[in-house]
Structure 1
Amino acid sequence: MRSVIKALRRTAAVGLLLWLAACGDAGDAPKPQPVTTAAADPATQVLQAKASPTLAAVRARGYLACGVNAGLAGFAFPDDKGTWRGFDVDICRAVAAAVLGDAKAVRFTAIPAQDRFAALSSGKIDILSRNTSWTFGRDAGALDFPAVTYFDGQGFLAPKALGLASADELNGARICVQAGTASEQNMADYFKIRGLKYSAVVSVSEAQARETYQGEGCDAYTADVSALASARSLMNNPNAHVVLPTVISKEPLGPVVRQDDPAWTDIVRWSVYALMLGEELKLTADNVAEARDASQDPRVRRLLGAQGNLGPLLGLKADWAFQAIRQVGAYDEVFRRNLGQGSPLKLERGLNALWNAPQPGLHYPPPVR
């Protein structure tokens, strides 16, 4: 019996050796291969656009609802035919052109400063383009600031006859200021730090503040420097008033949207940057069509939708930026006709020049790629 068992064991051992020989060394045995996918090529991979409820609503109704200042020369005002004009107005028109292909597909609503955020939060408007400063408190709340369109600061307007050289000489003065704006707090901070006294004469609108100042109901008027230049241009004798050189705050102005729709924030942001990139690439409303068809510059071709098909990443057509520039103009055109040398305000570009201008400014639009 024992001899039989030994024989079986020898047979099993030989069989195992033959099986191992046939399979090769265990260390050389094929290992399971992980399932892999080729790395996506950034230039060709397909990305899905984020859904934007605001974009869907705008398309469904056929127009963009834009909240603006009731009347601020250079920024937003209805002309003698009732057509809205101005820098902030053109920002909304650029968004409408990018989203709907029609810069005229906008309905403007004049909104007081103290009601502007409620109008946006309630859905009454899709975008607020109303000389509004980007601040921590606002951004940390329910609002988003897609981009800065105008770098400003708070200043003071005073009669030239007073011969003032600085806001520090306004100790004890009556100063006009608009309610519901950051200007009230900025002024309080400035005077408190310096131990100066003043009396605030509060108005409900820019127009009322201007009229009170011009009627000598206050000694000086404080607001953003651009707003003071606007007010000065409308006075009976603009040359009798001067904007003091003192600037007491930083006021990065731009459009505002609701924080609950990040895809819409991106759309507004890139509509603004498209205008700035248009200037950077020397595009204008007049030459953009030729540039789209003939330019060999890949930066121009991507921006204008002739290459790359990037528009769908925003849920827009490929020619979104082309339409914004063709119908509204590049940033320098918008600035010039509303605020610069082509306007009554004749403001210098200053901080609002591009980063690569002969006298560089702060505008630095990210690349489209």
Structure 2
Amino acid sequence: MRVLIALLAALLALDAAPVLAGPTLDGVRARGQLVCGVNTGVAGFSAPDSRGEYQGLDAEFCRAVAAATLGDASKVRFVPTTYQTRFVALQSGEIDLLARNVTQTLMRDTAMGFNMVGVNFYDGQGFLVPRASGIADARQLDGATVCVLPGSTSELNLGDYARREGLRLQPVVLSSMDEMTAAYQSGRCDAMTTDASQLAALRVSALREPEAHIILPERISKEPLGPMVRHGDEEWRDIVAWTLAALIEAEELGVTRANAAEMRGGQDPNVLRLLGATPGFGKALALPEDWAFQAIRQVGNYGEIFDRTLGKGSPIGLERGLNDLWTRGGLMYALPLR
């Protein structure tokens, strides 16, 4: 009985304790803007459109975080980053959040000082080759030159794959995606390698004759892509992580941009917690109670975002595959919002 009373007292004290916002959220609020590091241009993830506005899965996630923290999805300043500058920008505090189709790895999570906040796209590294080459299997690339980006997991994976399969692969290291694509199209490289989703995007958005190129079926690595924040601000890490979880949970519960307001007045306790009709969860994050409601109402659930940026509602036309909900055979699974 004494143990139970002590536990209840501790819980009551915890509930009464003030929730600290953390320095990153304080900075976001002070400037009235989220500063989000994105790619310089990968269709489907983050790339400027004809008006110069960034579009894609990662760009939309940045907008969802802005909606959750500031109540307005438009209050984002996008900072394009390269493979060389992406981590420096996050470490230095130039950006609040890195959402740049970055692979989550042990060293990045530890020695480099970043916190992973969840996976927003499950990918794998592949190869793009000219259809006319007749290559149908990655093992047929023995002796080939392969375009790859420096300082990336793709460069490391290429070396591992060559050693594992006993292949002679000659890397042609280019400093940017544009340079890599140009070198491949000029015939300087027999193949190009990076995440398969990026290859699919490049094929339709950057190559002169998309149908003249194929993505080989092999995936030579696991590439769990997702947003990152700096170590040292756990409150901010919680906000970004739970925003991603809320978008996934919304899809599972059937909450969309169009019906979020209506469902907020319904009876499902899971929906009421998600949308802030049941109070307490916003307070726990030092946010307004409608933080998730604003993200979903202004940006959409995970499935809506995927469809219009990468999926069947986009020029890229990717199948959901591993990025479908766990209830439909995929890996997207949100931790309980309780």
Shorter-chain TM-score tier:
over 0.9
Q: What CA distance in whole angstroms lies between the structure 2 residues aligned with 1:367 and 1:91? A: 20
Residue of 309, 330, 333 corresponding to 1:361? 330
**1:258-337 correspondence runs (5 A):** 258-293=230-265, 295-337=266-308
Q: What CA distance in whole angstroms lies between the structure 2 residues aligned with 1:258 and 1:37? A: 36
SS of equivalent residue, structure 1 residue 117: helix
- Seen in structure 2, the aligned counterparts of structure 1 residues 165 and 317 have a Cα distance that, compared at 3 Å, is same
Q: What CA distance in whole angstroms lies between the structure 2 residues aligned with 1:38 and 1:158? A: 62
Confirm whether residue 63 of structure 1 aligns to residue 33 of structure 2: yes
| 2:166 counterpart residue number | 195
Q: What CA distance in whole angstroms lies between the structure 2 residues aligned with 1:42 and 1:161? A: 67
**1:170-249 correspondence runs (5 A):** 170-234=141-205, 235-249=207-221
| 2:227 counterpart residue number | 255
Confirm whether residue 153 of structure 1 aligns to residue 135 of structure 2: no
Confirm whether residue 144 of structure 1 aligns to residue 82 of structure 2: no
* Superimposed CA distance per residue, residues 62-95 of structure 1 (whole angstroms, 9 cap, x where no aligned partner): 0000011111011111111111111110010000
Query: Counterpart of 1:363 in structure 2: which amino acid?
Result: M
Confirm whether residue 89 of structure 1 aligns to residue 85 of structure 2: no
Q: What CA distance in whole angstroms lies between the structure 1 residues aligned with 2:178 and 2:258? A: 36
Q: For the Cα contact (< 8 Å) 1:50–1:313, is it kept in 2?
A: no
1:164 positional shift: 1.8
1:48 positional shift: 3.8
Q: What CA distance in whole angstroms lies between the structure 1 residues aligned with 2:68 and 2:75? A: 11
| 2:323 counterpart residue number | 352
1:208 positional shift: 1.1
Superposition TM-score, scaled by structure 1 size: 0.87
Q: What CA distance in whole angstroms lies between the structure 2 residues aligned with 1:259 and 1:191? A: 34
1:38 positional shift: 7.6
Q: What CA distance in whole angstroms lies between the structure 1 residues aligned with 2:285 and 2:108? A: 25
Q: For the Cα contact (< 8 Å) 1:48–1:313, is it kept in 2?
A: no
Runs of 4+ in 1 over 3 A off after TM superposition: 40-48
| 2:23 counterpart residue number | 53
- Seen in structure 2, the aligned counterparts of structure 1 residues 94 and 175 have a Cα distance that, compared at 3 Å, is same
Query: Counterpart of 1:136 in structure 2: which amino acid?
Result: L
Q: What CA distance in whole angstroms lies between the structure 2 residues aligned with 1:140 and 1:268? A: 18
Counting matched residue pairs gives 333
Q: What CA distance in whole angstroms lies between the structure 1 residues aligned with 2:226 and 2:179? A: 24
* Superimposed CA distance per residue, residues 249-289 of structure 1 (whole angstroms, 9 cap, x where no aligned partner): 00000001001111111100001111101100001101001
* Superimposed CA distance per residue, residues 97-125 of structure 1 (whole angstroms, 9 cap, x where no aligned partner): 00000000000011111111110000000
Q: What CA distance in whole angstroms lies between the structure 2 residues aligned with 1:51 and 1:283? A: 27
SS of equivalent residue, structure 1 residue 66: strand
Q: What CA distance in whole angstroms lies between the structure 2 residues aligned with 1:38 and 1:272? A: 31
Query: Counterpart of 1:95 in structure 2: which amino acid?
Result: V
1:163 positional shift: 2.1
| 1:109 counterpart residue number | 79
Query: Counterpart of 1:106 in structure 2: which amino acid?
Result: V
- Seen in structure 2, the aligned counterparts of structure 1 residues 212 and 277 have a Cα distance that, compared at 3 Å, is same
- Seen in structure 2, the aligned counterparts of structure 1 residues 156 and 195 have a Cα distance that, compared at 3 Å, is same
Percent identity over the alignment is 50
SS of equivalent residue, structure 2 residue 100: coil
- Seen in structure 2, the aligned counterparts of structure 1 residues 214 and 136 have a Cα distance that, compared at 3 Å, is same
- Seen in structure 2, the aligned counterparts of structure 1 residues 47 and 304 have a Cα distance that, compared at 3 Å, is farther
Query: Counterpart of 2:331 in structure 1: which amino acid?
Result: L
1:39 positional shift: 1.7
SS of equivalent residue, structure 2 residue 276: coil
SS of equivalent residue, structure 1 residue 275: helix
Unaligned runs of 5+ in 2: none
1:45 positional shift: 4.2
SS of equivalent residue, structure 1 residue 113: coil
Q: What CA distance in whole angstroms lies between the structure 2 residues aligned with 1:308 and 1:301? A: 9
1:40 positional shift: 5.0
Q: For the Cα contact (< 8 Å) 1:167–1:246, is it kept in 2?
A: yes
- Over the aligned positions, Cα root-mean-square deviation in angstroms equals 1.8
- Seen in structure 2, the aligned counterparts of structure 1 residues 287 and 233 have a Cα distance that, compared at 3 Å, is same
Residue of 284, 300, 313 corresponding to 1:342? 313
| 1:75 counterpart residue number | 45
